Amino acid sequence: MTLLSLIIPNYNYGRFADRFFGSLAAQTMSLRDVEVFFIDDGSSDNSLEQARKWAGILECSDFKILTPPRSGRPGPVRNHGLAQAEGKYLLCFDPDDEMRPKFLETSIGLLESKPKVSIVYSDYHEVAPGESFIRNLSDFNPSHLRVQNTVASASIYRRELWDAGIRYRENTSYEDWDYWVQCLMVGGKFQHVAQPLYIHHVHESNFSLQAEKEDGVAKAHIVVNNPGFFHKAVVGWANDHLRGRAHAPSFQRGYIPTPDDLQKLSNMIRKGEISS
């Protein structure tokens, strides 16, 4: 079995290709047991030309360039590649970001040494116009996923999770968050690496910026998609928010309300402190 299947969803990111593939070529772990799937979502730039160039450079076990019909969302593009992957471990990595040299060695080494661990995620270096800092994530706590996403999108996991039927869903822009909830629901065990193992670049074309615009609906769909994971009051909030009910606001960005939050809101409405 191939050790790792690397899924690269791409749309008009050709300008980042040399930076991303250069970081992949610089990994301290050999790529000879790594298969690469470059899935292009209808790009109009030089993405395919760049992928073909790097397919001839990288010393990996296989490099496939796939061009499914345009979807406009990364989730279905990732699913398309994952459906063909044969690796023991799976990784979806956006090509506008870059790996630090020990990203693969550290993450896969941990999975190899700890058979009970299903998903490995790390801290990362975030670079935005005018600023640069380390995102220090927390050690995994299942309850955290009920209120916010505390797992990095660039995480490596065992293919058994995919084989269990987990898929990236199209009805939420927070598709990573929803995916990790699904992993947890089927028994996935998460391991945090307290090192910044990759670099996330913030720019005007990030899909995450679109997700922020759809924040309330995206969070509500995570809850409705996974009702067994959330308190019934939170499920009620999600359904009401999707119906556009005034008493079910979106709350702050990237945060799903708790039952206590909803009770406080209900008390404030009842007292007339805010209107419903």
Q: Which class for 58: exposed (0-12), middle (13-18), buried (19 or more C-beta within 10 A)?
A: middle
Q: What is the CATH number of the domain that holds 159?
A: 3.90.550.10
Q: Are residues 219 and 204 in the same domain?
A: no
Domain end (from 160, 188, 211): 211
pLDDT value, residue 203: 83
Contact 57, 24 (CB under 8 A): no
Structure tokens at 157: 């996991």
Mean pLDDT in residue range 159-183: 96
- Report d(CA 220, CA 44) in Å as an integer: 33
Angstrom CA distances, 229 to 168, 186, 199, stand at: 17, 11, 31
Domain region containing 199? 4-211
pLDDT value, residue 274: 62
192 vs 265: which has the higher pLDDT: 192
Mean pLDDT in residue range 255-271: 90
Q: Are residues 176 and 111 in the same domain?
A: yes
Q: Tokens 């939420």 map to which residue?
A: 172
Q: Are residues 144 and 82 in the same domain?
A: yes
Q: pLDDT digit string (tens) for 187-240?
A: 999 999 999 999 999 987 665 556 677 899 999 999 999 999 999 999 999 999
212 vs 247: which has the higher pLDDT: 247
String of DSSP letters for 214-247 = THHHHHHHHHHH-GGGS-HHHHHHHHHHHTT-TT
Mean pLDDT, the chain, rounded, equals 94
Q: pLDDT digit string (tens) for 51-91?
A: 999 999 999 999 999 999 999 989 999 999 999 999 999 99
Q: Are residues 61 and 196 in the same domain?
A: yes
Q: Are residues 18 and 139 in the same domain?
A: yes
pLDDT value, residue 208: 56
Q: For the chain, how many structural domains are there in total?
A: 2
Residue partners of 261: CB distance under 8 A and separation at least 6: 251
